[in-house]
Amino acid sequence: MKLKGIKHDGARLVLGCVMFVPASVMVLAGCATAPPPNKSIDTSDTPETMLVSYRVKAGKEVAFQDALARTWAVCRQDKLVLARPHLVLREKDDDGRTRFVESFTWVSHAAPDHAPPELKVAWRELESLCEPRDGKKGIDGSEVQTVVAH
pLDDT the model gives residue 60: 98
pLDDT the model gives residue 23: 36
* Sequence spans of domains, the chain: 6-143
pLDDT the model gives residue 42: 55
pLDDT the model gives residue 111: 93
Q: Quick one: pLDDT band at residue 1, thresholds 50, 70, 90?
A: very low
Q: Quick one: pLDDT band at residue 150, thresholds 50, 70, 90?
A: confident
Of 128 and 23, more confident: 128
CATH number of 6-143: 3.30.70.100
Task: Please state, as a whole number, how many other Cβ atoms lie within 10 Å of the Cβ of residue 45.
Answer: 13
Single pTM value for the model: 0.72
Q: What pLDDT, in 10s, does the model give residues 73-120?
A: 999 999 999 998 889 999 999 999 999 999 999 999 999 998 999 999
| pLDDT of 140 strictly over 80 | yes
Measure the CA–CA gap between 99 and 129, rounded to whole angstroms: 11
Q: What pLDDT, in 10s, does the model give residues 11-67?
A: 333 333 333 333 333 333 333 444 445 555 555 689 999 999 999 999 999 999 999
What would the mean pLDDT of 115-128 be, rounded to a whole number? 95
